[in-house]
Amino acid sequence: MKRIFVLVFLFVLLAPVTAEARSMWSRGRNTQFNLYAIGNFHHNTYETTIKSTRATSETEDDAEPDLGFGLSAEFMTGKKMSFELGVAYVQRKSETKTALTGISTRASKLSFDVIEIPAILHFWLSNSVSIGLGGYAGIASNDADTAKTEFGATGALRLFLFDMLFLGGRYNYGITDIAKTSTTTRTTTQKNQGFYVLGGLQF
C-alpha cells in the first residue's frame, strides 16, 4: 500500500512536466507500440490447514524487488479509450516465513520466471494521463510447487513525459489458487500479488 501512495505522489509531483506531453490519444494515432522496463515487487498470500488438527499456518511474505521487461500493442477503441495487449517477462522473488500453529516455524524463498500476457482497457483523463482496468494470464517457467498457469485482475496508472516517454504503475491481483497440493492430511491455498513500476517508450 505504501508503494501505491509513493507512486501517486510522484505523479502529482511530475504533473507540471507533463503539460506539453502528448500520448497516442492526442497525436491522433490509432495504433502504437509500448516498450518498457519493469521493477517488480511480488509477494504471495497463502494458508495451509492440517485436516486432522485444524491447525492453520499464517504466512508473512516479504517481497524482494526484481526486474523485467515488456512489449505491447495499443489500439484506440473510442474517443478517450484504448486497449493494450502485450507480453511481459518478470522474475518473481519473495521470502516466506511460516508460523505453523503448535508445530514449528520455517522460512523459505521463492524464485521463478513468469511470462505474463496483460490485457488492459485504458481510460484517458487528459492528453498525458490514463488509468486502466483489465486482467492478465501468467505462465510460470520453472517452479514445480505451484500451478504453471494463473489468471488475475490488473489495475494501471500511467503518465506521459516528453511525448514518447511514460512512467506507470500496475497492481496485479491473482485470482487463481496456484498451490498444487491438496492431500488427505492438509490443504493449501496460495495466490500471487504484485506491484509493478514501469518506465518505457510509446512509438
Q: Could you tell me which of 199, 142, 149 has the C-alpha nearest to residue 178?
A: 149
Question: pLDDT tens for residues 121-141?
Answer: 999 998 889 999 999 999 987
- Residue 203, C-beta contacts closer than 8 angstroms, at least 6 positions apart: 32, 33, 35, 164
Average pLDDT over residues 52-59: 72
The single-letter DSSP state of residue 147 is: -
Phi then psi for residue 60, to 5 deg, are -110, 120
Angle at the Cα of 143 from the Cα atoms of 195 and 90, rounded to 5 degrees: 35
Who wins on pLDDT, 175 or 99?
175
* pLDDT given at position 28: 64
Question: Residue 144 pLDDT more than 70?
Answer: no
CB 130 within 8 A of CB 105: no
How far apart, in whole angstroms, are the C-alpha atoms of residue 20 and residue 160? 9
* b/e 73-93 (16+ beta carbons within 10 angstroms → b): ebebeeeeebbbebebebbbb
Question: pLDDT tens for residues 32-47?
Answer: 999 999 999 887 777 7
pTM recorded for the entire structure: 0.76
61 sits in which H/E element: strand 56-64
Average pLDDT over residues 49-74: 80
Q: Provide the 3-class DSSP secondary structure of residue 131.
A: strand
Q: Does domain 2-202 have CATH number 2.40.160?
A: yes
How far apart, in whole angstroms, are the C-alpha atoms of residue 23 and residue 39? 22
Angle at the Cα of 124 from the Cα atoms of 23 and 85, rounded to 5 degrees: 75
Who wins on pLDDT, 14 or 174?
174
